[in-house]
Structure 1
Amino acid sequence: MFGGTPLLALAVAAALAAPAFADARGRAYAVAFVTAFALYFGLTALPEAWPGDRWLGDRWNWAGGLLAAAGMLALAAALVRRAGFAWREFGFTWSQRPGSFRAAVLVALPVLALNYAAMTLSHFRLPGVPLETWLYQATVPGLAEEIAFRGVLLALADRAFEARWTIGGAQFGWGGVVVTAGFVAAHGVSFGIAFGVAPAALLYLWLRARTGSLVLPVVVHNVWSLSVYAAHL
C-alpha cells in the first residue's frame, strides 16, 4: 500500500509535530498522534511479516490494510469514550456541511480529469491489470488510508495545534500540514513520487476539511488510485 519507508514517514511527521510537545495543552495529543501513526504502520505490516502466503490475495496486502483500518476505528472508539472526542471530529459521518458537497464535487472532478489526462501522456504502459488489482485499488487504499490519515491522525493533530487558516471555504491547521507530509513520505521520497502523491493528498485534505466528512475523500481516493492504472493501459 505504501512505496516509501514507514520509519521515514514517522520521523517526518514527528519532526513537524515537535512544536506541540513544548505546549502543555498540545503535548498529550502530539504523543497520541505519533503513537497512532506508528500503530497504523505496524498493523499494516503485520500480515506481511506472518509466515506463509499473503492473506486474502496474492498481489496486494489486503489483510494489512483492513487490519489497520480496524485498528484505527478501535482507536477512534477509545478516544470517543475516554478522551472526549466526537465521531464527527474523525469525519465519521454521512452528512456533509451545508453547501459543501456541490463545491467539493466541482473541485474534485476537474482535478481528477486533469490528473488522468496528464498521466496518459506518459510513455509507460502496463501489459494488463489483474482483476485483484482493480478490486484492491477500488476499496482498500481509500478506506484504510482515509480512516487513518484524514480521520484519526488529522483529528489528533488538529487538537495538538490551534492555528487555523481558511482556503476555498475549508478550514485548515498545522495538523493538516503534518498529516499530509507524513502521507507523502509514506509513499516514497523521490521527486517523481512526491510530485504525484502531494496533489492527491492536498485534494483529500481539502475535501475532508470542506465537507467535514470522510465520504468524498474515500471515494475520490479510490477513483484516483484506479485512474493511475487506467491511464497506463
Structure 2
Amino acid sequence: MIASSYLLSALLQFIIILPFLFFGKRKFDRSEYRFLGIFALMFLLWSVLTNGLAPIIVNENQTWNWLGKIAGLLLGVFFVYRNKLISKSDIGWTLRLKKGTVKPIIYTVLMVLIARLIIYFCFERVNPDIDFETLVFQGSLAGFCDELIFRGILLALLNKVFTAKEDIFGYSLSFGVLISSLLYGISQGFILQEGFHLQINLIRILLGFLVGLIAAVLKERSGSLLPAVIFHNLWMLITNH
C-alpha cells in the first residue's frame, strides 16, 4: 500500500508536466520517445526509492532520509556508468568547468545565497543550535543525489529531445531546463501521502522550481554538476537552520 502510494504520487507528478513536454515539441521521432521513456522511468525509480525508504530508521536519533538518498544516489551512479545513450559529459559528471565560467558562477551563487540569507534572517525563525546530522546530511547527500538525477541524468535526457537552445541573459538553455526544474518543484510539494491524501504545498513547489532552475543554469553554463551540487547543499543548509 505504501509503495503504491509513492508510485502513484510520482505518476501524478509526471502527468502534470506532460502538457509542457508536448508544448515544447509537438512531434517526436522514435529515438526521442525512447529518451522520454527512460526519462520517465528514471524519475519514477528515483521517487519510489527515495520516498519509499524514508520511513526506515537506522538510528533511533536519525532525523533525515539517509537510506532513501543513498539509494537514489546509487541509482544515479549506476546509470552514469552503465547507460550507453548519454555520455558522462552530457550528464556533467566531471570536476572540470568550462573555460571562463568560474567567475560568473561564483557571482551567481553568491547573489542568490545572500538573498536567501537576508530572507532567512528577516522573515524566518533563526535556530541558534547547529545539529551535526543536519549539517552533514544537508551539506552532502541533499544536493548530490537530487542534482545527479535532475540536473544530471534527467536534464541530459531532455536535452537529447529538446535540442534547440535559446539565449537567455547570456545563458544558452534548452526547453528541458524548464521541464526538469518544474518537475523537481512539483516533486517537492505535490505529494500523495499514505492513505492517498493529496498534499499540495505551493511554497515548496515554487522554491523547488527556483532551486532547480538556478542549479540547471549553473550546470549548463559550467558543463559540470559540481556548481549545482555546491549551490544546492548551501541552500539546504541555510533553509534547515
TM-score of the two chains, using structure 2 as the length reference: 0.83
- How far is 1:176 from its partner? 1.1
In the alignment, which residue of structure 2 is the partner of 1:227?
238
Task: Indicate if the aligned counterparts of 1:92 and 1:214 stay in contact, CA closer than 8 A.
Answer: yes
Assess, with a 3 A threshold, how the Cα gap between structure 1 residues 154 and 120 changes in structure 2: closer, same or farther. Answer: same
In the alignment, which residue of structure 2 is the partner of 1:29?
35
- How far is 1:76 from its partner? 2.2
d(CA) in 1 for partners of 2:214 and 2:60?
Answer: 30
Aligned length: 221
In the alignment, which residue of structure 1 is the partner of 2:53?
47
Contiguous gaps of at least 5 residues in structure 2: 1-8, 190-199
In the alignment, which residue of structure 1 is the partner of 2:91?
90
- 3-state SS of paired residue (2:167): strand
- How far is 1:181 from its partner? 0.4
> Equivalences for 1:85-164 in 2 at 5 Å?
85-126=86-127, 128-164=129-165
Assess, with a 3 A threshold, how the Cα gap between structure 1 residues 45 and 229 changes in structure 2: closer, same or farther. Answer: closer
d(CA) in 2 for partners of 1:196 and 1:87?
Answer: 28
RMSD: 2.2
* Letter of the structure 1 residue corresponding to residue 227 of structure 2: L
Assess, with a 3 A threshold, how the Cα gap between structure 1 residues 123 and 49 changes in structure 2: closer, same or farther. Answer: closer
In the alignment, which residue of structure 2 is the partner of 1:209?
220
- How far is 1:126 from its partner? 3.9
d(CA) in 2 for partners of 1:199 and 1:48?
Answer: 24
1:69 aligned residue (70, 73, 91): 73
Task: Indicate if the aligned counterparts of 1:187 and 1:197 stay in contact, CA closer than 8 A.
Answer: yes
* Letter of the structure 2 residue corresponding to residue 171 of structure 1: S
Identity %: 21
Task: Indicate if the aligned counterparts of 2:36 and 2:157 stay in contact, CA closer than 8 A.
Answer: yes
Contiguous gaps of at least 5 residues in structure 1: none
Assess, with a 3 A threshold, how the Cα gap between structure 1 residues 151 and 57 changes in structure 2: closer, same or farther. Answer: farther
d(CA) in 1 for partners of 2:125 and 2:91?
Answer: 38
TM-score of the two chains, using structure 1 as the length reference: 0.85
Say which is worse superposed, 182-191 or 132-141, in terms of deviation: 182-191
